[in-house]
Copies of this chain bind each other. A is one copy, B any other.
Amino acid sequence: MSISPLQKARAAYAPKLPPALAGGANVKVNEGVPTTAVADVEKIRAIFKTTFGSPVLTFEAGGSAAAKAINVGVILSGGQAPGGHNVIAGLYDGLKSLNKTNKLYGFLKGPDGLVKDEYMELTDAIIDAHRNTGGFDMIGSGRTKLETDEQFEAARRHCEALGISALVIIGGDDSNTNACMLAEYFKSHSIPIQVIGCPKTIDGDLKNEWIETSFGFDTACRVYSELIGNIGRDANSAKKYWHFIKLMGRSASHIALECALQTQPNIAIISEEVAEKKMTLGQIVDEIAAVVAARSAAGMNFGVALIPEGLIEFVPEIKVLISELNDLLAANAEKVDAMEKADKVKFALANLTKESAAVFATLPAGIQMQLCNDRDPHGNVQVSLIETEKMLAEMVATKLKAMKAEGKFNGKFSTQVHFFGYEGRCAAPSNYDADYCYSLGYNAAALIGAGRTGYMSSVRNTTKPASEWIAGGIPITMMMNIERRHGHDKPVIRKALVELDGKPFAFFASKRGEWAKETAYVYPGPIQYFGPSEVCDLVTKTLMLEQSK
């Protein structure tokens, strides 16, 4: 296998650890008071009978627990995020620090591997080949949800067969919720298998008072910001294009906000604000067109606009339209399927409610066609396929044409569109993510050593040097509330959306007027792994602002 010069050099990087873990994963455990849940306390307590109410844990160096040999399993769950391999490497090293004969098994292709008993034993050679690398290819990942008793029983059988007494599940909010369900299942059935979660997602929406950030968010945002910066510089050099850049992140707009803070684009739309203000698509288009026209009047027929991937589902009127379309097309499936593509659009226009028909009529023809024709196996509109960046560019062009006719715009408007997502999910982790992930994994070993279950690995105070990082564990139940999912009440970890009264958004909101008018682009450049600390050891602007006094 060929590896690049950078990968070779980077393999030697030794990630930093919190002081509590510097002497190994055998730690002194400080217990806080019993915890509850963020909401719906009694319901959560009823579901998590044996795991509910555990205390927050904080670690100190120098534990003295007996360290009998154990076998542990690890699972990568859901979408890729930079640093997953380092979580596993930290876990491996932490387990070995507890007892050299401890074994770590990786279940393959996500939770499926646990259910289907597909695994590999992780060795020094495998771990060393993956230190500080991106990707989840060491053991693969998958999107199967661990939810049913059958799955839990299969998990028990396969763990028992391998002598596994602890599982570490690396995943997002849903995966950690399910990790906690599994912990509860095991504990309530007196099955001696611990379950520990680790917070992963580039989307940055798994965070709260105790979990500062999910891993991968830092690296992914830096890759996107590198590209946005390069494009901004191009826009400012060629002076002839508006670049509409869509950024991955289906529900929350943390990525768009962080990238905006790093690069200072002319426009960045934040879905949470759109929802809060109940903005229409027309209003969004008008606002963008107004910025374009103002810059053009100042001689600048170019710009950069950031669009969060999930935007369209946050626009109230579009939400209603899509739901009506789903019902309409499903109710008339046979008739509609027999129609020509263009006739489906006419059918929709004629049969939607007046309000939704009016919204539908404002959409570009290509999007109308797509909404009526590209449906998933359940007959639903495939929102994720909608090229929002193209749609907005087209609608803004139409608006500007109208403004031109009214004498309110006298410039040029040419666009380029981009979508960044896959470019960042498997980047090699930044120093921040390399350190944070390794610490999360090592810390998971400490939680296992301390005999805990239903906990999420927690490393805090990460805006400070690693020598001040705080390691410990957070009961997953305390992050939960009850939400309606697919028609059922479910206990879930509350998703962290962008808070409009939080400091990152407030800072952005205080600056965006200036960034719209001026060309204030910042060019972050590519992630650096060597060289001066002020270049290599960065923390996201989001976290810096959140933690600022």
Contacts and interface: CB of A to CB of B under 8 A. Distances in A.
Interface string A1-29: 11111111110000000000000000000
B528 A528 contact: yes
A451 interface: no
Contacts of A64: none
A232 to B, nearest CB: 8
Given A4-B522, A7-B525, A530-B532, A418 B428 contact: no
Interface stretch (A36-44, A89-97, A135-143, A398-406): A135-143
B239 A426 contact: no
Interface in A484-507: none
A425 interface: yes
Contacts of A320: none
Contacts of A226: 526
Nearest to A342: B342
A339 to B, nearest CB: 14
A511 to B, nearest CB: 10
B9 A141 contact: no
Interface string A217-245: 00000010011011101101111010100
Interface string A417-429: 0110011111110
Given A231-B422, A428-B525, A535 B80 contact: no
A282 interface: no
A213 interface: no
Nearest to A538: B5
Given A2-B522, A7-B525, A524-B4, A422 B230 contact: yes
A133 to B, nearest CB: 7
Contact of A135 (B135, B141, B237, B526): B237
A528 B530 contact: yes
Interface string A142-162: 000000000000000000000
A234 B220 CA distance: 13
A79 B5 CA distance: 30
Contacts of A227: 227, 423
B2 A520 contact: yes
A529 interface: yes
A226 B426 CA distance: 11
Contacts of A522: 2-4
A307 interface: no
Contacts of A231: 422-423, 426
A531 B530 contact: yes
Contact of A233 (B135, B243, B525, B529): B135
A140 B237 contact: yes
Given A233-B135, A233-B137, A523-B134, A6 B223 contact: no
Given A4-B523, A4-B524, A428-B525, A230 B223 contact: yes
Contacts of A233: 80, 133-135, 137, 426
Given A133-B233, A135-B234, A135-B236, 6 more contacts: A9-B531, A10-B525, A80-B238, A134-B233, A231-B422, A234-B422
What 9 A-B pairs come out closest when comparing CB atoms?
A: A530-B531, A526-B526, A233-B426, A135-B233, A6-B525, A136-B237, A234-B426, A4-B524, A135-B237
21 contacts: A2-B522, A4-B229, A4-B523, A6-B528, A9-B531, A9-B535, A80-B234, A133-B233, A134-B233, A135-B523, A137-B237, A230-B422, A230-B424, A230-B425, A231-B426, A237-B426, A416-B422, A418-B423, A427-B525, A530-B535, A531-B531
